């Protein structure tokens, strides 16, 4: 099936759901068994064979299995583990791959809260962390140590939008015997498939485009048959459980992911190209643009783009950025992205922390998420923002 069909059909099991199209919300903790033999059978199937049968609420219900099977199908993996948030998915994926005494390589463009996890929690567990230039490609081979077990990627980075050469990084990692985990939230399982590019784990902050409506938190980790085992063990050991209500919202959002993403991409390209014409703008950070430094890799490895982009101002000040943002009507100020509504956020120098290679290029002054509103209305709103911006600059 083509991806637009697969996103509608994946994970559906009308026999399991007694003919119901959308898997209902199954809330459960205790599951009772009629006989000891039935309980022993469930023990065997769930704990030893990892089959999806009702056993205990934390181990999943049909609500969870529908989303897991759908994401697994779309991402091209062996299985999917759910987490209560995107950050939770990133941290759980790492914990499923490392142990005390290991060394991990992490892209310098990684999401801020994920970086905090590496710098604090993971180091406190005795795991050594080294950051690398996201554009290092196959050169990453020189950074491996005898105890390197994981490379963590994020492509594109959600603030600076560098596209990583995943095939080259994965080849180097596997030659060394290390696994590769990729935060694929920007690409989504429709527009980017890290497992096909050589990675072992593909992570999604499903809170964003999969849910699509800014009303639920969830994360997903899809992996190869070998890599996902460690994540499953970590999830079980930590007692990770995701609300079936949030899982239901994610599955319902997934069914319209394709049509929403195509509209996000169409509008984002229109807005990005318009922004490139503005005298106030030095550069637009958006890999689909032909002059973006990551365009060639994006064109090779992605089949589309989402609505998230960055804007570097030619000349700026804090007062000008504030004047630009605070008068906007269609770009509310908020964290996250991927919902139906447009969003804006300022980007501070502190947010772009780099240790592997100093960031010498101008920073993006703002980050825009282009939602599902009419692109011309969004441009008109931004144009008024630029008028306030120029006035504040003087």
| Active-site annotation, residues | 58, 111, 183, 208
Looking at residue 211, what DSSP letter applies? T
Burial letters for 113-127: b for 16+ Cβ neighbours within 10 Å, e otherwise?
A: ebbebbeeebeeeeb
Peptide bond into 234 cis (omega under 30): no
**Cα separation, 107 vs 151, whole angstroms:** 8
**Cα separation, 382 vs 373, whole angstroms:** 13
**Cα separation, 101 vs 293, whole angstroms:** 37
Of 87, 115, 387, 97, give the one whose Cα is nearest residue 233.
97
Q: What are 318's two structure tokens?
A: 């804090």
Contact call for residues 74 and 10 (beta carbons, < 8 A): yes
Helix H or strand E encompassing 234: helix 227-238
- Going across the sheet that includes 281-285, the strands are 281-285, 308-313, 366-369, 343-346
**Cα separation, 113 vs 133, whole angstroms:** 18
Tokens 């009772």, located at residue: 32
Looking at residue 149, what DSSP letter applies? E
| Helix, strand, coil percent content, the chain, rounded in steps of 5 | 40, 15, 45
Of 314, 303, 313, give the one whose Cα is nearest residue 368.
313
At 32, phi and psi to the nearest 5? -100, 155
Of 87, 90, 111, 104, give the one whose Cα is nearest residue 352.
111
């Amino acid at each position: 099936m083509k991806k637009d069909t697969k996103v509608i059909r994946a994970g559906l099991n009308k026999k399991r759901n007694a003919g119901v199209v959308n898997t209902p919300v199954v809330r459960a903790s205790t599951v009772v068994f009629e006989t000891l033999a039935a309980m022993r059978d469930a023990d065997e199937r769930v704990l030893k064979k990892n089959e999806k049968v009702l056993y205990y609420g934390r181990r999943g219900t049909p609500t969870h299995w529908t989303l897991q099977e759908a994401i697994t199908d779309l991402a091209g993996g062996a299985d999917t583990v759910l987490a209560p948030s995107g950050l939770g998915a990133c941290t759980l994926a790492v914990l499923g791959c490392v142990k005390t005494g290991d060394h991990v390589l992490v892209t310098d463009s990684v999401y801020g809260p994920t970086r905090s996890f590496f710098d604090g929690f993971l180091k406190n567990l005795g795991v050594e962390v080294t950051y690398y230039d996201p554009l290092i490609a196959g050169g990453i081979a020189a950074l491996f140590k005898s105890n390197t077990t994981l490379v963590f990627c994020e492509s594109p980075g959600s603030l600076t939008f560098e596209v990583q050469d995943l095939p080259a990084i994965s080849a180097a990692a596997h030659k060394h015997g290390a696994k590769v985990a990729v935060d694929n939230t920007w690409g989504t399982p429709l527009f980017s498939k890290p497992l096909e590019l050589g990675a072992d784990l593909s992570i999604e902050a499903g809170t964003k485009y999969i849910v699509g409506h800014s009303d639920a938190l969830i994360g997903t980790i899809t992996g190869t048959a070998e890599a996902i085992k460690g994540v499953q063990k970590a999830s079980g050991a930590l007692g990770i459980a995701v609300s079936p209500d949030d899982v239901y919202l994610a599955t319902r959002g997934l069914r319209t992911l394709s049509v929403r993403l195509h509209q996000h991409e169409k509008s984002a390209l229109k807005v990005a190209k318009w922004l490139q014409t503005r005298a106030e703008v030095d550069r637009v950070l958006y890999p689909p643009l032909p002059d973006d430094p990551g365009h060639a890799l994006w064109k090779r490895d992605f089949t589309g783009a989402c609505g998230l982009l960055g804007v570097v101002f030619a000349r700026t000040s804090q007062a000008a950025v504030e004047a630009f943002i605070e008068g906007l009507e269609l770009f509310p100020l908020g964290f996250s992205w991927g919902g139906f509504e447009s969003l804006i956020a300022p980007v501070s120098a502190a947010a772009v922390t780099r240790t592997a290679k100093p960031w010498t290029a101008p920073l993006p002054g703002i980050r825009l998420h282009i939602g599902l509103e009419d692109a011309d209305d969004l441009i008109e709103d931004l144009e008024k923002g630029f008028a306030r911006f120029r006035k504040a600059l003087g």
